[in-house]
Each structure stands twice: as structure tokens, then as C-alpha cells.
Structure 1
Amino acid sequence: MQNHAWMCPFSEVGMNTREIRTKKQKIFVYILVLIPFIAFVSVMIGPLANSVYYSLTKWKGVGSPKFIGFANYIKLFKTADFWLVVGNTLYLTLVCTLGQVGIALVICFLMTIRRLRFKTFHRAVIFFPVVMAPVVVGYVWRFIYNGDNGLLNAFLRATGQSRLMKNWLGDPSIVLRSVSVPVIWQYIGLYMVIMLSAVAAIPEEIFESAELDGCTGFKKSIYITLPMIWDSFKICIILCASGTMKIYDHLVALTNGGPGRSSESMAMYCYEYTFRYGNFGMGAAIAVAILVFAFAIAGTLQFVMTRRKIYE
């Protein structure tokens, strides 16, 4: 019988994979670690470094960039439009995070009710919008919001609630709330699935013991389910908040940032400077600003949402 131990340094009989004894095994481990590290650097760190460099230059996309230091950032922070789109983005981040993760958490609690039937069907229906392209969702809801013959105003008119009819995407005072609804609707299912996976990992004996002690319904959800899935809940909050910071597709399909800049996001502002004005240096500066805001939000949430707080 052929000996194939040479094919893998860890194939020796009685070898504990946590122990590295020979030089060949050390080299093999370093290679295994180096491959994903190189992939990460080439896909993430390299482009990020390029963006930071270009944000310090004046560049039109062709020719050689001219280094100008922090001039792009100084100009950016003095621009009123920039702070307007920052406010829009932060508002959407807050509303979408509360809506998506909050509704998903409520649905997750409902799914733990034993008497609820057709749970698989409910999960499939709620998750379905997640697989749709954001642009498609945007155009569907644009038809729903249409002020002349949209489904929403038609429904209000048919039910005798004409006084509630509005120009949903043309009124600057309500447009941000209007565009947040499709975003919330699309991604509820994603965070529902994450939290349901965490619920499925909770031993059934814990729920049975709680029910024997009289902890049912709302109390079971708050005092048993939520603490047990707190880590997953925290991940959902951070993913949702940081992900909404780069919202783009929905807004382009719904309003294209209008009316004016009342629904424009930082990602749209970045695209506008980069490709409409041809100012790649300023576009890179805006992209770096998006990254900084996303990191700041994620770091703040990570600091605030500690496991210790949910148990105390």
C-alpha cells in the first residue's frame, strides 16, 4: 500500500494539528495563512490605500495626479451640500436600522410561538424581497408612490382618505421617510434569518424550563430569547448601520436625490463628483469620509452594545 503521508504535513499518525513540530509544518501553516492574507490585501487594503492617496490629489481620471495634501477635505468640510447629504445619510441610517432590525426582532419573537402555523411559508415570504435587486425594488416603489396614478394614492382615494394623499417623492419634508420604507421592507428578511439562526441554536430545554416557571409570551422573548441572541442582534445592528451608510441604488431609482438634494446620500454625492464633474480626487475624499463615518458608527455601537448591559 502506498504511503500518502507526504501529501500533507499533518497526516502523520498521532499528530495533533495544534502542535507544530517540524520546519516543514511551520512553512505549510504560514502558506495557509499567507494565501487569504494576500487576497485580502489585494482586494481590500490595496484599493483602500489608493483611495486615500487619490483623495490627497487633484486628478481628473487621466494623466498624473497632482498632490495637494488635505485641500480636498478642507473644501469638502466647508461645503454646505456635503453636510446636507451627511445629514440625509445619517437620518436614513438611523431610521433604516431601527426599522429593519426592530421589525426583524419582533418577527423573530413571533416565530418562537409554538402555536404559530406555516412558519416556513412566513419566513419565505418575508425573505423574498432580499433576493431582489435594489434598483428593481426602487422602481416598484416609485410606481407605488406616484402622485398621479400610484397605488398608494389610489388606495387612499378609494377608501375615502383623500386628505392623506401626498406627493410622496416630490415633497422635501417627507421624501426621506418615503424612501426609507422600501429599504426597510427589502432587508427585514435578512436580519430575521440571522436572528432566527441564533434562536435555533438555543437549547429547547431553556424554553421549556422558562415556561414551567411561568415565563411565557412577552416575558420569554425579553428575558430569555433576547439575551441568548444578543451577539447576533448586535451584529445585525452594526451590519445594518454601516451598510446603510453607502445606500445608493434605491435612491437613484426612486428620486435620483431629488427634489434638489433633499434625498441625496453620500454615495450619490461621491458618484456625482467623480463621474459627473470628473473630479476623482474629491470623489475619493468623499469615499474616505463615508468609510470614516461607517467605522465611527460601528465602533460606537460596538462600545455601547456590550453583553454586560443586556444582563444587568
Structure 2
Amino acid sequence: MNAGINGNQPVVRKRQGTDKAKRQRAVFLFLAVAPSLIGYFLFTLYPNVMSVYYSLLDWDGLTAAKYVGFDNYVNMVKDQFVWRALYHNLLYMIVVPALIVFISLLLAYLLNNKSYKENAIYKVLFFFTNVLSTVVIALLWSFIFDGSFGLLNGMLELFGLTMDDFYWLGDSRTAFWVLVLPMVWGGVGLYVVIFINAMSAIPKSLYEAAVLEGARPMTILFRITIPLLRGVIRVCVVFVILGSIKGFEIIMILTNGGPEGSTDVIGLYMFNLAFGREYHNYGYASAIGMFLFVILVGAKLIIDKLFPEDNVEF
């Protein structure tokens, strides 16, 4: 009997040691994840849940809130400025990501395959735009677009095009399209670095075999490099598209939606409704925020449908 009991003691001790290790591991994981979870609940989940509640109110943030149900959503559907801003968002969503991804891929391909001695310096220069704040980028381009002493008009005059102090941001015909330039300029650098690092992981033997077969550089780019970077390109496209939908900082600083609302976007319209100088309606702004959330989710689902995730091994 004693031998049997003593024989089971190592098993019991081993099980107790395993349970203790599991508890310690659980406590460690909880302590490691808790700060991030607390931050997520306080600054992401809770504000989003409260936005749903605020969207059902008529509230200016100061006086007593009045429950209006779905009136804010009904008014939003009838609001022509919402649909005008959404139209601008859709245009930016098509133009800006296409230019950023195309230019980034081309520059990364050239730097990766030419093996310039200055490649490290080029990486820093391209990434420098992402170090700058949005305010700095916007102010820099405001001087470029200035009609009196702007760099753009000066360069055009060198080619014989006299602009007569034309203000690019002050004309509704040009303001929308010139805003694409700072958006692309500020976003290309990051994706150039990402694509360079992704391309450097592709085996050189694939390129050497293609060169021996007589493939040209553009053929190599579209037949080898881009297909092998589908996963990376997909992630970059998702980030750029979602960023172009909800971003408005550059537009707010350069034009604030003008002239005549020609550059207004959903995020900026919502911001001005909630925090503008003349009008404060947190309830209506929250309803537009929920609409923007639906757009972002829908855009993500469409991207997943058009660009299914696939794993490429090489």
C-alpha cells in the first residue's frame, strides 16, 4: 500500500508543477496584454460604442441632449453635402492608391535591380516624407501652389506657360486635383521601402533565369516581381485605400473643403459639423461617422473579394 502511494507522488507533483506553470504563464500573458487591451477599450471600443448612442441624439455638446432616434440618419440621406463629400472620397480612393502603389513599385524595382551604391541614401530620402508631420507637408505644398511666388507657377513659366498669379488651391476647377500631389508625395516613401524589402527576398536565381531567357526589365517586373508580391501589394492597397477614405488632414489645412466645397470629404465634413466654428452637432456628426464606418467595412470586403489573399512560396 505504501509503495503504491509513494509511487503516485511523483505523478502528483509533476501535475502540480504543470498546473503552476500554466497559471504563471496565464498571469504573464494577462499582464503583458492588459495595457493594450485597456487602451483598446478606452480609446477605440468605448468611443465607437458611444458614437452609436450619440448618433441618436440632437446634441451640441453643451446643452441637454435630446433623443431623436433615427432622424439624424434620415437627414443624412437627404443631405446633398454628404453625397458630394462621398463622391470626392470615391475619386480620391481610386486615384491616390493607384498612383502611390504604381510609383512605389516602379521606384522600388529600379532601386532593387540596379543596385546603386547610394541605395541606402535613397531609402532614407524616400522615407523622409513619412517622418514629416501632415501639417509640415501641407504647409510645404501650400508654398508650392501659391499663385504669387509658388514653385509650381515658377516652373511652368520656365517652359513658357504664364500663369498670371493663378492660385491652384483657390480655383474649384483645379483645387481637387492638385491635392492629389501632396497625398501621393507623402505616401510613396513608406511603400517604396516596403516594396524594396519585399523584392530583396525574391531569389536572384529567378531573375537570372529570366535574363538568360531574354526577358526585358518590364517583362520581369510584370511576370515575376509583381506576381510574387501579390500579398504585399494587397496589404498596401488596403492601407492606402482605407487611409484615403478616412483621411482629411491635408485637405483641412490647405483648403478646408473649399473653394465652394470642391474638395470636401466625409471625414472633414463630419469634423466641421462636430468642432466647427459656426455649427456644433455631435449627434449628426456621429451619424455621419457611423456611415463612414460602414463605408470602411464595405471597402474592406470589396477589396477582399477583388484581391483574395493567397500565399506565394519561393
Provide the residue aligned with 1:286 in structure 2: 288
Provide the residue aligned with 2:19 in structure 1: 22
> 2:202 is matched by which residue type in structure 1?
I
Does 2:183 align with 1:186? no
Provide the residue aligned with 1:56 in structure 2: 56
Of 279, 299, 302, 1:300 maps to: 302
Give the deviation of 1:37 after TM superposition.
3.8
Counterparts of 2:26 and 2:223, CA distance in 1? 44
Does 2:112 align with 1:112? yes
> 2:72 is matched by which residue type in structure 1?
N
Provide the residue aligned with 2:239 in structure 1: 239
Counterparts of 1:157 and 1:216, CA distance in 2? 38
* Residues 105 and 192, structure 1, Cα contact 8 Å, conserved in 2: yes
* Residues 92 and 176, structure 1, Cα contact 8 Å, conserved in 2: no
Counterparts of 1:94 and 1:291, CA distance in 2? 18
Provide the residue aligned with 1:146 in structure 2: 146
Counterparts of 2:213 and 2:190, CA distance in 1? 33
Provide the residue aligned with 1:222 in structure 2: 222
Counterparts of 1:144 and 1:31, CA distance in 2? 53
Question: Match of 1:96, SS?
Answer: helix
* Residues 157 and 165, structure 1, Cα contact 8 Å, conserved in 2: no
CA distance 1:122–1:222, shift in 2 (3 Å): same
Where do 1:103-182 residues align within 5 Å? 103-114=103-114, 116-162=116-162, 166-182=166-182
Give the deviation of 1:178 after TM superposition.
0.6
Q: Deviations over 1:142-184 (max 9, x none)?
A: 1111123222112222331226984311221221111111110
Question: Match of 1:260, SS?
Answer: coil
* Residues 147 and 167, structure 1, Cα contact 8 Å, conserved in 2: yes
Counterparts of 2:195 and 2:209, CA distance in 1? 21
CA distance 1:291–1:232, shift in 2 (3 Å): same
Counterparts of 1:41 and 1:245, CA distance in 2? 24
> 1:262 is matched by which residue type in structure 2?
S
Question: Does 202-211 or 237-246 show the bigger shift?
Answer: 202-211
Question: Does 225-234 or 105-114 show the bigger shift?
Answer: 105-114
Unaligned runs of 5+ in 2: 1-16
Q: Deviations over 1:185-241 (max 9, x none)?
A: 111001112222222222333333433444451122112211222111101100001
Provide the residue aligned with 1:4 in structure 2: none
Counterparts of 1:55 and 1:223, CA distance in 2? 49
Does 2:29 align with 1:32? yes
Give the deviation of 1:65 after TM superposition.
3.2
* TM-score normalized by the length of structure 1: 0.85
> 2:286 is matched by which residue type in structure 1?
A
Question: Match of 1:22, SS?
Answer: helix
Provide the residue aligned with 2:264 in structure 1: 264
Does 2:66 align with 1:66? yes
Does 2:203 align with 1:206? no
Counterparts of 2:269 and 2:45, CA distance in 1? 23
Give the deviation of 1:31 after TM superposition.
6.2
Q: Deviations over 1:221-267 (max 9, x none)?
A: 11221122211110110000101112222112211211111111212
Question: Match of 1:61, SS?
Answer: coil
Give the deviation of 1:69 after TM superposition.
1.8
Question: Does 161-170 or 222-231 show the bigger shift?
Answer: 161-170
Query: Aligned pairs, how many?
Result: 294
Counterparts of 1:290 and 1:30, CA distance in 2? 38
Unaligned runs of 5+ in 1: 1-19
